Homo-oligomer: A and B are copies of this chain.
Amino acid sequence: MSYPTALPLSRVRFDHGFLADRAQLVRATVIPGQWEALNDRIPGAERSGCVHNFQVAAGEKPGEFHGLFWQDSDLAKWIEAASYRLATHPDPALDAELDRLIATIAKAQRDDGYLNTYFQLVEPQNRWANLRDCHELYVAGHFIEAGVAHFQATGKRPLLDVVSRLADLIGKTFGPGPGQTPGYCGHEEIELALVKLARATGVERYRELAAWFIDQRGQSPNYFEVEARRRGETGKLPWHMHHDGLATLQAAQPVRELTEPVGHAVRMMYLLSAMLDLALDRGDAARAAHCRTLWTAITTRHLYVTGGVGTEPYGEKFCEPFDLPPDRAYAETCAAIGVVMCARRMLDLELHGGHADVMERALYNNVLAGLALDGRAYFYVNPLEVVPPVAKRRYECHLVKTQRVPWFGCACCPPNVARLFASLGAYAYAQVADGLAVHLYAGGVAQFAAGAVPVRLHVTTEYPWKERVELSIEPATPAEFTLHLRLPGWCRTPHLSVNGSPVKVEPVHGYVPLRRTWRTGDKVVLDLPMPVERVHADVRVAAAAGLVALQRGPVVYCVEEKDNGPQLAALSLPRESPLTAHHVPDLLGGCVILEAAARRTEPGAQLYSTEPARQQAVRLCAVPYALWANRGEGEMRVWLREA
C-alpha cells in the first residue's frame, strides 16, 4: 500500500449529524427510489429504460432500446452506488437483486467482451464509429467503476470479470499499435475507470491504456477529424460544440498544453481526475504540476461560490475566466461532483487545506442542492439566482428547473449523487504514512491502522450547524501516530484541546499535525467558531460586483421568496447590519438560518426616475443554498446587494 489513500468504505461509518442523515437518506430512499426509476416504475417521471434495455439485449424479453446513447451509464452508476451501500451496510435483498442484475448484464455482453445496449440493439454496424459523440467508452468506464465497486464491496467477481473482458476488448481495439484505432472518447470517464481497474486487479496495462488515452487526446492528426471524415460527415459540428469546436471535448490541442479549463465541465473534471490518478500512481511530477496548474485555474477563476463549475448552459461548458453569472450558472450537479473528486485527489497529492476547502464548498452547497430533502427529486442545473417566470421564459435558462424533478431523460446526475454519498467515507479520511488525515468532520466512526495497531476514531459533532468536533481515539494498544486535523479555511479562530488541555494551533498547510502516543480514552476537542461571514467575489466576477454572499462554516446561504417575499433583487443588506444565526429544528430537516435587519426598495411610480426610491425596513432571512426549493416554487438568490 502506498500513502496517502482513502480508508476502505467498510471502515467508515457515519452515524449522526447532517452528512450521516444525507447518507442514510441515500441508502434508505435514493438508491431504492432510483432502482424504481431505472425500472420505469415511477409514475410521472421521465422514462429511463435502463433495466429494460439490458433485459432486451440479454434476450430475456422482447422490445426496443429506449433512451440516449449513454443510457446504460445511469445503471452502471447505480450499481456502483448500490455496491458502496453493501460495503457499509450489508443487505441480503439488495445483494441478491444486484446478483440478478449482474447476471442479466453478463448475458447481454457479447462474446468478444463488447457491452453497450444502444449499439447492440440499434446500431450494431456502427460500433466505435463515432467516439466523438456516442459515449461508448464513457459508458464502458462507468461499468468498469461499477465492476470494481461491486468486487470491492462483495468480493464477488462476476461483474469484475464482465468489465475486465470489456476493458480487454478496449485495450485490443484502441492504442498506437498496428491494427489499433488511435482514438479516445468524446466524454472522458474511461481513463479514471481504467486506473481504478488497474488498482483493483493489479493489471498495469489498464493504467497504461488510461495514460495513452489522455496523452493521445488532441494530438495531430486529430482523431475526431479523421473519424468524422471516415463517417463522411460534412455538416456542422453538433450544437453543443458551438464556439469551442473540439475544445468542447478537451481535444483541440494535446491535453498537456491546457492551462485553463475548457469545454464541457463534467468531461474536464473527469479528465483531470484521471490525470491526478496517474500523477499519484506513477509519482509523475510533471503531470502533477500540470494538474496543479489546471486545478488552480479552475478554483481561482472558474468556481462558483457554491462550488460549482460550468457557466454556459449551451454545451454545459466552462466560459471565460471570472464569467460567473448567477442566473445562467449551469453548475451541473455532476460537475460539482467532479470538483469533489478532483479535490480529494489533490489532497492525496498534497495535504493542503485549500483543496479540502474547495471539496467542502462543492459538497455542502452545489452537490447537496442536487438532491431534494425527501430524496425523491433532483436538480441537474444549479443556478445561484432564479426568478421562476424569467427562468421559464428566457432561452438561455431553458435547462433550469425551478423545482427538482423525479428523473431526467438524461439522468446522469441522480445516480452520481447516490454513488458520491454512498462512498462519502472515502472523502472524509485518508490513511497517511504517519497516521490519519481528517478532511471532513462528520459524526461516526473510522477505523484505520497506525503501523500494526488498529485504531478506532469516534467523531461526535453536529457540524456544520454546531462548532464543536469531539474526537475519541481508541488504539488497540497505545501507539504513536499523527492525526492531521483539518482547519477549515473559513475558520479564523480555531481552538484545540487534547484531554482537556488547550493545544496551540500550529497548522501545516491548513492541517494541525497532532503527534503523540495515543491511548484509549484520549479525547481531542476542536472548536471551529462559525460567525456568519460576508463573502465578496473578486471584482473581476462582474456579475457579483457590489454584492455579498452569506456563509457560515462551509454552508453558503440564499434568500428565498418563501421567507422574504418576491422581488428578491429589491432586498439590500446594510454593511453594518449584524447577522444572527439560529438553529431551527423543524425547518428543512433542521438547519441553521440567518437573519438580519435589511431594507427593501419599493417599486417606483416610473420605470426610470431621478428620485431615489423609497425603502422599508425588513427582516432578511437566509437558508442554506443546498436546501432551497424544498418548500414550493419561488424566487431564490445567493448574491445580495450590500448597501
Measuring CB to CB, which residues of chain A are less than 8 angstroms from any residue of chain B? 242-243, 299-301, 303, 305, 312-315, 319-320, 323, 328, 387, 389-390, 392-396, 398, 490, 533-543, 545-546, 549, 567-570, 572, 601-604, 606-613, 641, 643
Contact of A323 among B390, B545, B611 (CB under 8 A): B390
Contact of A607 among B537, B567, B570 (CB under 8 A): B537
Decide: A545 and B396 in contact? CB cutoff 8 A: no
Given contacts A569-B545, A601-B545, contact A319 B539 (CB under 8 A): no
Decide: A323 and B394 in contact? CB cutoff 8 A: yes
Decide: A393 and B243 in contact? CB cutoff 8 A: yes
Cα distance, A396 to B312, chains bound together (Å): 9
Contacts of A602 in B (CB 8 A): 539
Given contacts A390-B323, A545-B569, contact A299 B607 (CB under 8 A): yes
Cα distance, A603 to B322, chains bound together (Å): 11
Question: Can you give 6 contacting A-B residue pairs, CB < 8 Å?
Answer: A243-B392, A312-B394, A328-B394, A539-B601, A540-B603, A546-B572
Contacts of A538 in B (CB 8 A): 603-604, 606-609, 613
Cα distance, A610 to B543, chains bound together (Å): 17
- How far in angstroms is the closest Cβ of chain B from A238? 14
Smallest Cβ-Cβ distance to A314: which chain B residue: B395
Contacts of A535 in B (CB 8 A): 608-610
- Name 18 extra pairs, CB < 8 A, besides A536-B612, A543-B569: A242-B395, A242-B398, A301-B607, A305-B608, A314-B395, A319-B390, A536-B609, A536-B611, A537-B607, A538-B607, A538-B608, A539-B567, A539-B601, A542-B568, A545-B569, A545-B601, A546-B546, A546-B643
Contacts of A606 in B (CB 8 A): 300, 538
Contact of A395 among B396, B607, B608 (CB under 8 A): B396
Cα distance, A490 to B549, chains bound together (Å): 36
Cα distance, A613 to B301, chains bound together (Å): 16
- How far in angstroms is the closest Cβ of chain B from A109? 38
Contacts of A396 in B (CB 8 A): 314, 328, 394-396
Contacts of A539 in B (CB 8 A): 567, 569-570, 601-604, 613
Decide: B536 and A610 in contact? CB cutoff 8 A: yes
Decide: A395 and B243 in contact? CB cutoff 8 A: yes
Decide: A534 and B610 in contact? CB cutoff 8 A: yes
Contacts of A323 in B (CB 8 A): 387, 390, 393-394
Contacts of A603 in B (CB 8 A): 538-540
Contacts of A567 in B (CB 8 A): 539-540, 542
Cα distance, A393 to B490, chains bound together (Å): 33
Contacts of A314 in B (CB 8 A): 394-396
Contact of A533 among B394, B398, B610 (CB under 8 A): B610
- How far in angstroms is the closest Cβ of chain B from A120? 30
Contacts of A389 in B (CB 8 A): 320
Contacts of A541 in B (CB 8 A): 607
Contacts of A312 in B (CB 8 A): 393-395
Smallest Cβ-Cβ distance to A547: which chain B residue: B546
Cα distance, A542 to B323, chains bound together (Å): 19
Decide: A607 and B300 in contact? CB cutoff 8 A: yes
Cα distance, A390 to B318, chains bound together (Å): 12
Contacts of A305 in B (CB 8 A): 608
Given contacts A538-B607, A572-B546, A608-B536, contact A319 B601 (CB under 8 A): no
Decide: A545 and B533 in contact? CB cutoff 8 A: no
Cα distance, A606 to B542, chains bound together (Å): 15
Cα distance, A523 to B242, chains bound together (Å): 62
- How far in angstroms is the closest Cβ of chain B from A615? 9
Cα distance, A549 to B609, chains bound together (Å): 10
Smallest Cβ-Cβ distance to A389: which chain B residue: B320
Contacts of A569 in B (CB 8 A): 539-540, 542-543, 545
